[in-house]
Structure 1
Amino acid sequence: MNHWLVAPVMLPPVVAALLLFGMHRSLRLGRAVALGSCLSLLVIAVSLLVEADGGIIQTYQMGDWAAPFGIVLVLDRLSALMLVLTAALATLVLVHVIATDLDRQGWHFHPMFQFQLLGLNGAFLTGDLFNLFVFFEVLLIASYGLMLHGQGAARLRAGVHYVVANLVGSTLFLVGVGLLYGVTGTLNFADMAVRVGALPPGDQGLARAGGLLLLVVFGLKAALLPLHLWLPQTYSATSAPVAALFAIMTKVGVYAIIRVFTLVFGAQAGALAFFAQPWLLPAALLTVVVGFIGLFAARSLRELAAYGVIGSTGTLLTAIALFEPAALAAGLYYLPHTTLAGATLFLLADLVARRRGSQQDRLVQGPRFPWTEPLSAFFLLAAVAVAGLPPLSGFVGKLLILSSAQAHPAAGWIWAAILGTTVLVVLGFARAGSLLFWKSAAVGEPLRPAPAQHSRAEFLALAALFGLLVALAALALPVTRYMEATAEQVLAPQPTIDAILTDRRGGA
């Protein structure tokens, strides 16, 4: 077994414990340890991705208990991709947090941040449905603390709604898990995949009901219509750097949809193969439309970013809902783009808010503020990224999605939704940009410059995120090839099933 495979799950809680009990009195030391943890996770994730690119599916049997009886971690191309994306985003968000002193506004920010990474990494690596639920709860509990960090009445109100929505989702998750365990007698993904394909007709209805409940839960996490209402209020009420990290939380729901409905209910599931497609594709298309129309209702830059996350996630799920290799590869290319673009817009909102005084990031006219020129340039690039216009990676991703959908019966609807909402994004961002930068230029006296300690350092994470978007576009060919290989691996689950159900000694 490759013992590095367990590091993304073991390192964050160990660091969180150290930060909570041993380093809480020294903020500088705590920052160094937390940042070192994120950088270490990034190095480990990249090394695991290089190994996964060879096509070999690796498993780690916790406690040396062979599947399906023990806890198993699984590394393939998809999980390795998500680990790298999580570590890269977390590192840059933490750099921004340190540069802006967000961690001074309340207690225990860094331990909660590490537990958030534990839940994310665990969800991406687990090979067991119940442990997927466990890691969901870990990341949600950590997100409750991060979301409320810094306090405030509006944040508390949004936090209550967020907690209630996720408690309902957790209850449905347990019911779905119970139904599937009742008809299959197992919770291991691979073992369940084998048994679902052999279910008698009388049990297929219960399995379908359990699968649909999971689709609802994962749709709630991904903010899929009509389960998206919690996201705009939550992401706009919390601090912008926390919302930037939360940009990957919707992708946990997307990842779970891919994993469950290609492995458990994939091609080998017989009558239940890809049964979620008739539900998922219409919901994804409606999410695209409603999410991007919401840009016109946004009252702040953070709310604008939140609606952008909803619309972009709908675009991503539109590709995934086709359950075809070319479409899934296109969606996987678009996945890191939409995550990084959403996080970029949230960090930009924080920089704007810190310079506009009492007006914060609200979309209203106000006096000219410090650093207007570079921030307006970053806003233009963010608008290009979210809209999916050239030359950034969103254009490549949307082009791949449209191309992969040409032969699908719903191609007309897919093309109309994606191209039509691109125009809406351009108009929505033009409205916001004109209020923040153009029309505000002639209003009142300019605000005084920000303190020297909060100037260039605050731009490091934002510039790095844009650098990643540019790199994703510049390296489109090798990245696309990796995504194509990932899609083929995901849609051909038998090697994954064999790897999980065969222990390290070669026994079945």
Structure 2
Amino acid sequence: MNHWLTAPILVPLLGGILQAFMGYAPVALRRTLGIATTALTLASAITLLALADDGAYRLYAFGNWEPPFGIVLVLDRLAALMLVLTGILALFCHIYSLGGSDENHRQFHGLFLFQLLGLNIAFLTGDLFNLFVAFEVLLIASYGLLMHGEGTNRTTPGLHYVVLNLAGSAIFLISVGMIYSVTGTLNMADLALKIPQVAAENQPIVKAGGMMLLVVFGLKAAILPLCFWLPKAYANATAPVAALFAIMTKVGIYAILRVYNLIFGSEAGDLAGLGMDWLFPLALITLAMGVIGALGAANLRKLFAWQVIISVGTLLAAISFSTEKGTSAALFYLLNTTWVVGGLFLLADLIAGQRGSVQDQIVTAPRMRNRTFLSTLFMIGAVAAAGLPPLSGFFAKLMILESASPGADRTWLWFVLLIGSFFTLIAYSRAGSIVFWRNVEGHLAETRKLTGTVTVSASALIAMSVVIVILAEPISRYVDDTAAQLHNPSAYTEVLKTPMIGEEE
């Protein structure tokens, strides 16, 4: 059964390779293969979610190399949750691209699948170096996707994105080299055993390497001051790409959760809690910066891009407490914000297609077509993103507020999060009232017809905020169990003793 661990990697890999040789095949064939591959990837992720729910760790060692040597995949509740989160988002983004977003580049579907491949490797790998490899795979694919389409507006933000991530990759390599020079391993489970045993004279090297890793993960997560590349890059990407990129910052957050709970967690001796003192204030400042950006957004795409940064600050604030309650609340919020923001990016494209040359700019214009339907979707998405009842964003933020222990940190969290949510609501109210209700006389130029694929995709992702509320009990149980498993690093190290492939478990 452990062979199932390879499915979320092999399926998009094979699909992407086939797409590379099908650049001149009929578009219908490329689309069919692409959607089928993404759907199979999601199906394999759901299978792994069911397997992981028993709380056991599952190991797959390529080539039967005994851990900690060789390439290993490790499945636990957190990895399975991230796989399903990504799979659902990717499927609806891929379906949305059938509305015409995939027509300007023959290799769009191949790049999309390679992006999915890199994401899934990152969530399953049990080795720091292979985490670096996963970052490179998904980043190379994201470079192509970011530049996908026509127009020079993507060039400058795309260049910023490439340069910053190349710098991050270089720092990543240096940091893992420093850690390996002391410990002689990069296997995460093995590192969790060896970090507490590092001699005092070598601890500064490991500490420097660990802090450099935090910088890299902070760059991936777009934490202040490493977030200013994101709004322009996301706002100028095509709709399905921007929506898929809603998961990209969550990869950095996942890496922080995994590495700093396992390797530098409570059992890491003198290096326990490395960098967490810096994380909380940076998270609150990032949240505040996101709110300011949202208030000043000139168009809907930038508003939703700043919402990504707001969510990053909110997530990291909860994670920085290094408690089961904070981690559980963060994971619940993670589901809500990723799907809803992805849906809002798709919705921005639908709105732009109904407003002629004005597109998604937050300015007065003639009354758009399909206003009732689109404004309803916008209202649901805004309520979920801002954290108002009765949708999932409210319950997620309430869980985060309750996760803080009494003291100064709790006071700061409540103040920044509540004030930030209030001004976020103002930003959405301003945008919605201008775009949908402040109309001027005149006639719209040619508008795009709303097709089934694009409306269903955007609606489904935004409606996930309702689904999360309906399934709140099982989801809450799962994220609670995930947090408990994550904060028990000694259980993860047992994967080193897991029987090899083909042996009895």
Question: What TM-score do you get using the length of structure 2 for normalisation?
Answer: 0.97
The alignment status of 1:445 with 2:452, answered yes or no, reads no
Secondary structure at the counterpart of residue 197 of structure 1: helix
Code of the aligned partner of 2:422? V
Secondary structure at the counterpart of residue 59 of structure 2: strand
Cα distance, 1:308 vs structure 2: 0.5
Secondary structure at the counterpart of residue 326 of structure 1: helix
Q: What is the number of equivalent residue pairs in this alignment?
A: 503
Which residue does 2:379 correspond to in 1? 380
Does structure 2 conserve the Cα–Cα contact (< 8 Å) formed by 1:277 and 1:321?
yes
Deviations 1:445-477 (A, max 9, x none): 24267455x434421011111232111111112
Which residue does 2:5 correspond to in 1? 5
Mapping of 1:204-219 within 5 angstroms? 204-219=203-218
Which residue does 1:60 correspond to in 2? 60
Mapping of 1:80-229 within 5 angstroms? 80-98=80-98, 100-229=99-228
Pick from 490, 494, 501 the counterpart of residue 494 of structure 1: 490
Deviations 1:250-295 (A, max 9, x none): 0000000000001111111001111221011111111111111111
Measured in 1, the distance between the counterparts of 2:25 and 2:72 equals 37
Code of the aligned partner of 1:464? A
Does structure 2 conserve the Cα–Cα contact (< 8 Å) formed by 1:23 and 1:29?
no
Cα distance, 1:504 vs structure 2: 2.2
Distance 1:279 1:67, change over 3 A: same
Q: Which runs of 5+ in 1 are unaligned?
A: none
Measured in 1, the distance between the counterparts of 2:307 and 2:119 equals 22
The alignment status of 1:478 with 2:474, answered yes or no, reads yes
Which residue does 2:236 correspond to in 1? 237
Measured in 2, the distance between the counterparts of 1:23 and 1:334 equals 39
Code of the aligned partner of 1:7? A
Cα distance, 1:423 vs structure 2: 0.6
Does structure 1 conserve the Cα–Cα contact (< 8 Å) formed by 2:391 and 2:466?
yes
Mean CA deviation greater in 461-470 or 246-255: 461-470
Deviations 1:139-188 (A, max 9, x none): 00000000000031110111111101101111111111111111111110
Distance 1:451 1:338, change over 3 A: closer
Mean CA deviation greater in 491-500 or 108-117: 491-500
Measured in 2, the distance between the counterparts of 1:143 and 1:303 equals 19
Question: What stretches of structure 1 move > 6 A for 4+ residues in a row?
Answer: none
Code of the aligned partner of 1:482? Y
Does structure 2 conserve the Cα–Cα contact (< 8 Å) formed by 1:316 and 1:335?
yes
Secondary structure at the counterpart of residue 103 of structure 1: coil
Does structure 2 conserve the Cα–Cα contact (< 8 Å) formed by 1:146 and 1:242?
yes
Measured in 2, the distance between the counterparts of 1:408 and 1:184 equals 37
Secondary structure at the counterpart of residue 44 of structure 1: helix
Measured in 2, the distance between the counterparts of 1:81 and 1:406 equals 26
Measured in 1, the distance between the counterparts of 2:452 and 2:17 equals 32
Report the RMSD for the aligned CA atoms in angstroms.
1.4
Distance 1:424 1:309, change over 3 A: same
Cα distance, 1:370 vs structure 2: 1.0
Q: Which runs of 5+ in 2 are unaligned?
A: none
Code of the aligned partner of 2:310? G
Mean CA deviation greater in 379-388 or 250-259: 379-388
Does structure 2 conserve the Cα–Cα contact (< 8 Å) formed by 1:369 and 1:446?
no
Code of the aligned partner of 2:430? R
Which residue does 1:29 correspond to in 2? 29
Measured in 1, the distance between the counterparts of 2:370 and 2:109 equals 29
Which residue does 1:365 correspond to in 2? 364
**Between the two proteins, what is the percent identity of the paired residues?**
48
Secondary structure at the counterpart of residue 59 of structure 1: strand
Does structure 2 conserve the Cα–Cα contact (< 8 Å) formed by 1:67 and 1:503?
no
Does structure 1 conserve the Cα–Cα contact (< 8 Å) formed by 2:295 and 2:424?
no
Code of the aligned partner of 1:497? T
Does structure 2 conserve the Cα–Cα contact (< 8 Å) formed by 1:191 and 1:501?
no
Cα distance, 1:501 vs structure 2: 4.5
The alignment status of 1:459 with 2:445, answered yes or no, reads no
Question: What TM-score do you get using the length of structure 1 for normalisation?
Answer: 0.97
Secondary structure at the counterpart of residue 73 of structure 1: strand
Measured in 1, the distance between the counterparts of 2:453 and 2:187 equals 46
Measured in 1, the distance between the counterparts of 2:62 and 2:22 equals 28
Measured in 1, the distance between the counterparts of 2:239 and 2:143 equals 15
